[in-house]
Amino acid sequence: MKEFDTIAAISTALGEGGISIIRVSGYDSLNIVNDIFISKNSSNILDMKPYTLKYGNIIDKNSNENIDEVLISFMKGPKSFTAENIVEINCHGGIYSTKRILEEVIKAGARLAEPGEFTKRAFLNGRIDLSQAEAVMDIISSKTELSMKAAVKQSEGSLSRKIGNLRNRLLEIIAHIEATVDYPEDDLEEVTSEATINNINSLLIEIDNLINSSDEGKILRNGLSTVIVGKPNVGKSSLLNALLEENRAIVTNVAGTTRDIIEEYMNISGIPIKLVDTAGIRETDDVVEKIGVEKSKNMIDSADLVILMFDYSSSLDDEDFEIINYIKNKKYVVLLNKIDLPKNIDISKLNSLNNEFIFEVSAKQLIGLENIKNAIKQLFFNSQIRNDGVVVTNIRHKEALIRARENLICALDALKNTMAIDLASIDIRNSWYALGEINGDTIAEDLIEKIFKDFCLGK
């Protein structure tokens, strides 16, 4: 194992809470913490038993003043998250005390960790591969149980094993080809070529399955981005409130340039539904002006799912038809709201839309809303959510799979058209290389840097 310097960061969310944890990792971690720790029974922590706790105080080394009462835990490498010696300081969960302790740790010789650096060490030290490291981050940002299940599976190495298996089989094919080329006797080339085509075809089926799982995977990881469109007063906010009341999962603030965008997540049968621009919907309550067809179109463009809402009690106009036309090729649910009032929409005029996805509802009286749930499942999870199979949730992995696939198609072409099996071996090698980017075997250093930069601090 390479020896890296010792790093430290606050690993809990910074705020007022019961406890905070400052994590220190590296060969010198025990020494560094020992330098600023006074145990209650006056023993030092250098000979501390791994996986136990020590009670005492962190002190300011200059003034010898107590900073906070803490518990120290020690995870001895390689049996730790980073595979290095990790010392964690559990202190009182105040912003000031936590930062003060981190400051002392740094003064005592640790370096402030970069975002994701602990996980990166776990990767560099060979404890986990890249796809597992990425899954650690996904576990943290999971919005629903189903998203988390997919991330946990990946962190346990389900994808790594699958990719490892595919790569081994590619290597076998390459070895086989090279052996044939080295001994160009009889009709060996022809026989090998045929066997190779069969092997590649079966690999392609498995790669395609993985690529196909990524539509669902993306939704599990990032949420299904959903817009609710419709004229003012059709009942959008009422719908939103009704849906959120029952299913609200998480609200996050995404800092924007002009104002913060509020992302709200609903949890519908484990599927994280990300509602786009819900703040905008709420604002239309007070704003007289209409949302406008152009803005609606923009919102529709950026969404995976469109919920188009009409007021059943007022007839449709040209603008409505323009939007109806516009959503035809999207995945949509059309809601005819206010069924408690007299109906004024001629449904036959909606025949350009699939009536399986048109529902009569009342957002105010909470009638028919469960149809939305069923429609979403039908639209996006036709193939049943794969709880046991491997799901590709990460776009980076999907892209690598697509490249691996393209290379194999080229290999097939070479084999079919020219019988030049040594040419095919170059494509197969490229495919092997592309798959290696998923678990990090064949990825460039700068890309690794980039991946871990997106992690959160202290992880």
Contacting residues toward ligand GDP, per CB under 6 A: 230, 232-238, 281, 284-285, 337-338, 340-341, 362-365
Strand pairing of 111-112 and 261-268?
unpaired
247 Cα distance to chain centroid: 21
What's 225's DSSP letter?
E
- SS3 (DSSP) at 346: coil
Nearest to ligand GDP of 322, 340 (CB atom)? 340
Residue 407, both tokens: 């290379």
Nearest to 401 by CA among 428, 425, 427, 436: 436
CB 164 to ligand GDP: min, Å: 51
List of residues 6+ apart from 43 with CB closer than 8 A: 54
CB 76 to ligand GDP: min, Å: 58
Nearest to ligand GDP of 142, 337 (CB atom)? 337
Nearest to ligand GDP of 293, 402 (CB atom)? 293
CB 281 to ligand GDP: min, Å: 6
**Is 97 within 8 Å of 85 (Cβ atoms)?**
no
CB 365 to ligand GDP: min, Å: 6
Strand pairing of 305-311 and 331-337?
parallel
Nearest to 170 by CA among 419, 399, 405, 413: 405
Return the residue matching tokens 């949302």: 291
Distances (CA, A) of 140 to 145, 210, 238, 289, 301: 12, 23, 31, 40, 29
Nearest to ligand GDP of 22, 327 (CB atom)? 327
CB 368 to ligand GDP: min, Å: 9
CB 282 to ligand GDP: min, Å: 7
CB 284 to ligand GDP: min, Å: 5
Phi, psi (5° rounding) for residue 270? 85, -10
CB 16 to ligand GDP: min, Å: 36
CA distance 139 to 350: 42
CA distance 78 to 103: 26
CA distance 240 to 248: 10
For residue 335, how many C-alpha atoms fall within 13 Å in the half-sphere facing its CB?
Answer: 30
Distances (CA, A) of 446 to 2, 166, 258, 311, 452: 19, 25, 32, 53, 10
- Strand-pairing partners, residue 10, are 22
CB 340 to ligand GDP: min, Å: 5
CA distance 272 to 387: 15
Nearest to 174 by CA among 192, 198, 187, 151: 192
CB 234 to ligand GDP: min, Å: 5
Nearest to ligand GDP of 208, 285 (CB atom)? 285
Nearest to ligand GDP of 107, 282 (CB atom)? 282
CA distance 278 to 226: 10
Nearest to ligand GDP of 362, 439 (CB atom)? 362
The CA radius of gyration of the chain, in Å to the nearest whole number, is: 28
Nearest to ligand GDP of 112, 244 (CB atom)? 244
CB 277 to ligand GDP: min, Å: 12
Cis ω before 78 (30° cut-off from 0) = yes
CA distance 248 to 304: 19
Nearest to ligand GDP of 252, 365 (CB atom)? 365
Nearest to ligand GDP of 3, 285 (CB atom)? 285
Residue 178, both tokens: 């090279």
Nearest to ligand GDP of 310, 433 (CB atom)? 310
CB 228 to ligand GDP: min, Å: 8
Nearest to ligand GDP of 45, 281 (CB atom)? 281
